[in-house]
Structure 1
Amino acid sequence: MLQALKILFDHFVAPQADADGAEMLQLASAVLLVEVMRADSVSTAVERAAVIAALRELFALDTTAAAALVARAEDTARQASDTFAFTSRINEAFDMPHRIALVESLWRVAYAEGELGADENHLLRKVADLLYVPQGAYINAKMRARDAMSGRRTAIVRPAPAAG
């Protein structure tokens, strides 16, 4: 058990070369997507397809590479005790637009089955907080994902300019 934790810690905290760093970011993102898929204790083929689609979109992977990444992420997620190691790695490397895109992808996985469970909602709020995503961006990402999964388009409503 301690050896597994040491491997996990070394895997995410040790300095990596650029290629390894990019791979670790992909794995960290995939673990978060898998955690959303597993949040309600039932992982379905629809959710798995949403995770693969998200990885393809976020990292320009082909289906085979994305599916292999999901398998690695599932193994890694089983060994992890929390999401902090993954979110901290993402915070170090991703700018805010990339973090918001990841949160939207997480929401797409959560909405993949057409309904949102309380466990999924809680996990998404926790992850968005750990990624320092502002509340407004978090809500917009949630609405865009919900509408995309239901086939609707979301218009982003911006406040009217103040009368001067």
Structure 2
Amino acid sequence: MFELLRKMLGNDTPDEAETMTLEKAAGALLIEVSKSDYDQDPAEVEKIRDLLSRHFSVSVDDMEGFMKDVEDHSHQGTSLYPYTRFINDNCSNEEKYLLIKSLWEVAAEDGRIDKYEDYVIRKVSDLIYLPHSDFIRAKLEVTKAAGL
């Protein structure tokens, strides 16, 4: 019924849920953390690139286009819900833990963790139903490794 209505109204764009991938969801959340303190440090952007190439199938050659696509996608939405919903539907607790750890790595990349970065990571952790002990464990591992 909704598909018919969408066609009648001339909106043939694919549903957001159909175009979402794990890479896009994680990339958007990583970018949200890097922008949350209103100072997107170039080191944080490089860290995001490194994490995406290490943990996902984003090649170095495709990175520029992918980052632009993720950046555009994150500008379109004001909610974390589409990303966290996708993560909840498609990831194990271990994968969720690794995502939160990656978010902490981005936050710590500039040598400090801002209260706004902490807030966004805590919110994402809550939205993906990661146990609080795992949230704290990820934070402690990253801050210890970063010397913070």
TM-score over 0.5 (shorter chain): yes
Q: Runs in 1 of length 4+ with deviation above 6 angstroms?
A: none
Contact 2:33 2:121 in 1 (8 A): yes
Contact 2:58–2:66 (Cα < 8 Å) also in 1: no
Over 3 Å counting, the alpha-carbon distance change for 1:64 and 1:145 in structure 2 is: farther
- Secondary structure (helix, strand or coil) at the match of 1:76 reads helix
Deviation at 1:112, TM superposition (A): 0.6
Cα distance, 1:40 vs. partner?
0.8
* Whole-angstrom CA distance in 2 between matches of 1:55 and 1:67: 12
Q: Which has the higher contact order (CA 8 A, sep 6+)?
A: 2
| AA of the residue aligned to 2:15 | D
TM-score of the aligned structures, taking structure 1 as reference length? 0.76
Which of the numbers 19, 35, 39 marks the counterpart of 1:38? 35
- The alpha carbon displacement at 1:50 in A equals 0.9
How far 1:69 moved relative to its partner?
Answer: 2.1
The aligned residue for residue 138 of structure 1 is: 135
Matched residues in 2 for 1:142 and 1:68: separation? 30
Distance 2:59 2:67 in 1: 12
**What's the secondary structure of 2:38's corresponding residue?**
coil
Match of 2:99 among 95, 99, 102: 102
Matched residue count: 137
TM-score of the superposed pair, with normalisation by structure 2: 0.84
Gaps of 5+ in 1: 1-5, 15-19, 153-164
Moved more, 67-76 or 94-103: 67-76
Residue matched to 1:84? 81
